[in-house]
Amino acid sequence: MNDNDNLNMKRAHRTSVTEPYQLCSNNPVPEIPRGGCRIRVVYAGACFTDSQLRKTGRRPKMAGFEVSGVIDQVCNSVPNCNLLPGDKVVVYPDGEEKHEVGYSEYIAVKDLKNVFKLPESMSLEIGSMLPSSALTAYSAVKRAEPHVRDLMKTKESCNILIVGAGGLGLWTLTLAKHFIGQNSDKVRITVADTSIEKLIVAQDHGCYDVIHWSDCDHEQYLVERTLDVCRGGVDVVIDFVSSQRTMNRAIRCLNREGMILAGGNSRHEVMICLNDLAANAQSILGVSKGSRAQLEELLNVFAAEQVQPPCYSVFPVEQVNSVFEKLSSCQIDGRAILKVSEVPCNN
């Protein structure tokens, strides 16, 4: 069913995963799926997955899956729907949505359970960051929180190490400070990265300390440097880089009963001595993207204005290719957001 058969929309698309995006303005507006809705996209995150795609050639299930916008139309077959045209919404990145969605002016969402209304006080810019980077960071922090609470029953202080000071790392720092590190004297959150510029940004966001993990330095020096900064060793590592070097380094710095939360943004295999892991009562857990329930929790946190988002920059979708180039060369602090369309006048 389609009420907009004669309307066209803007879309940034590519013919190959290794080719740059091309902007086209005469694409047909998608039909409203039965039981679903159509959303006018206003902002979309220039996601890490997309910039990695340019290097690896691997296509994600959804390109630009951090999406915020307004309801355009809801299928009239949906009874008692609490979504109305004009409502500000974000879309949970369900893997069932196979098409490229993020850089189209309109998208069709088949399952309304993936559509969440934004709090009135939240901007669409901030909302676009929540379904992916903020939600993944929130998932990691909520996995770490009970472990930190247990450790604090027997320890005077706890050291948390966040590996990576990009957009995802800054979200993790922001949420960890709110949920775990209210008492900065006892819970110390340190950030490690290869980029000095990104570490300066992390300092501006209130971390306890930073560690420059230069690729040029010897591994033993980096381990000693980390242990020196994290006095008493590391209790929790949240590693969204998850390379061979960062994981091996994390294990060498990990305390007894320590925990590593691995984001798995690389495809490297890591050799781990299970005997040492068991002897030290350590654990390694994978971090998922977060659930729908967690996205709703996160929206409630922002509705109460308890957390301020980390830094971000907004670019017109016409600059999508230059944005990816800047992301690949670490020239953008925090998250990059693409403005896909204007907010309708009645919002």
Q: Give the CATH number for residue 92.
A: 3.90.180.10
Domain count, the chain: 2
Structural domain includes residue 24: yes
Residue with tokens 């971390």: 207
Gap between the Cα atoms of 45 and 298, Å rounded: 17
Q: What confidence tier does 102 reach under pLDDT thresholds 50, 70, 90?
A: very low
Gap between the Cα atoms of 74 and 272, Å rounded: 50
* pLDDT one-digit tens code per residue, 134-161: 999 999 999 999 999 999 999 989 999 9
Strand 115-117 relative to strand 158-163, pairing = unpaired
Q: What is the pLDDT of residue 3?
A: 53
Sign of CA dihedral 4, 5, 8, 10: positive
For the chain, the maximum distance between any two Cα atoms, rounded to a whole number of angstroms, is: 67
Q: What is the pLDDT of residue 57?
A: 45
Structural domain includes residue 344: no
In this structure, are 322 and 197 located in the same domain?
A: no
Structural domain includes residue 25: yes
Structural domain includes residue 197: yes
Structural domain includes residue 297: no
Structural domain includes residue 301: no
Query: Model pTM greater than 0.75?
Result: yes
Angle between helix axes 135-151 and 167-179 (nearest 10 degrees) is: 40
Q: What confidence tier does 97 reach under pLDDT thresholds 50, 70, 90?
A: low
In this structure, are 255 and 324 located in the same domain?
A: no
pLDDT of 48 strictly over 60? no
Structural domain includes residue 304: no
Structural domain includes residue 328: yes
In this structure, are 173 and 314 located in the same domain?
A: no
CATH (domain of 280): 3.40.50.720
In this structure, are 281 and 139 located in the same domain?
A: yes
In this structure, are 31 and 74 located in the same domain?
A: yes
Q: Which of 97, 94, 93, 110 is nearest to 32 (CA)?
A: 110
Mean pLDDT of 285-311: 91
In this structure, are 123 and 182 located in the same domain?
A: no
pLDDT of 64 strictly over 60? no
In this structure, are 125 and 138 located in the same domain?
A: no
Domain that holds residue 275: 134-286
Q: What is the pLDDT of residue 99?
A: 47
